[in-house]
Amino acid sequence: MILRWLLPLLFVAANASAMEIGMFNLDAHGIVGSNVAQGTYFGLGADFYTEVYDYLSVGVGAYYTAGQHPSQDREIGAGPFVSYDYPLTSFLIATAREDLDYLDERQPFLNSATNSWDYNPVYGVASITTLAMHLMLSHHFGVSAGYRAAFGLNNSDLSKDHSGFIFGLAFAI
């Protein structure tokens, strides 16, 4: 029961690959987490970006997450982002990231007539702001904590209850 209340704070991201292509970077990641709308969710994502100024990066990202009922509960998002990473020390990094994503969501609900899970489709553009602190314990491992705020811009049901505190582990290869 305690784990159920702690899951909204859980967000695990693992860099599956990080590749440099000239002045551009391609990072892929896997995620596990929880929020009010999806419950526990799993996902994959990728970012293609470049550093335009000291600590300031711009690019495009995409992700896919599926919740506890994957055929009725999923979120697909893609769009541009701006990220500012400021190293406070050699091992502590503050990050602010703003995504402007087109989202394709399926919001699950228990259909009382059939007593089975069904979903409502929701589409549109959302603003997703993430503020986090990353503690790099080694070159390939770190922990992070922060807050993710998601707001639907053209649909009030979009990203509803997808905001919350995050805690994570990062692994880099």
- Counting the structural domains of the chain, the total is 1
Half-sphere exposure of 106 (CA within 13 A, CB side): 17
**pLDDT digits 0-9 by tens, 108-144:** 888 888 888 888 899 999 999 989 898 888 776 777 7
**pLDDT digits 0-9 by tens, 28-49:** 777 776 677 777 778 888 899 9
Evaluate if residue 171 carries a pLDDT over 50. yes
Predicted local confidence at residue 52, as pLDDT: 94
CA-based nearest residue to 70, from 45, 35, 41: 41
Predicted local confidence at residue 15, as pLDDT: 36
Predicted local confidence at residue 88, as pLDDT: 96
Contact 160/143 with Cβ under 8 angstroms?
no
Confidence of residue 11 (pLDDT cuts 50, 70, 90): very low
Predicted local confidence at residue 16, as pLDDT: 35
Average pLDDT rounded to a whole number, residues 3-27: 55
Predicted local confidence at residue 128, as pLDDT: 92
Predicted local confidence at residue 67, as pLDDT: 83
Predicted local confidence at residue 5, as pLDDT: 35
Q: What is the mean pLDDT of the chain?
A: 81
Indicate the pTM of the whole model: 0.79
Owning domain of residue 83? 2-171
| 12-16, 80-84, 149-153, range with greatest mean pLDDT | 80-84
Write a three-state SS string for the chain: CHHHHHHHHCEEEEEEEEEEECCEEEEEEEEEEEECCCEEEEEEEEEEEEEEECCEEEEEEEEEEECCCCCCCEEEEEEEEEEEEEECCCCEEEEEEEEEEEEEEEEEEEECCCCEEEEEEEEEEEEEEEEEEEEEEECCEEEEEEEEEEEECCCCCCCCCCCEEEEEEEECC
Evaluate if residue 9 carries a pLDDT over 50. no
154: three-class secondary structure by DSSP: coil
Which tokens belong to 62?
């995409």
Which CATH number is 65's domain given? Answer: 2.40.160.20
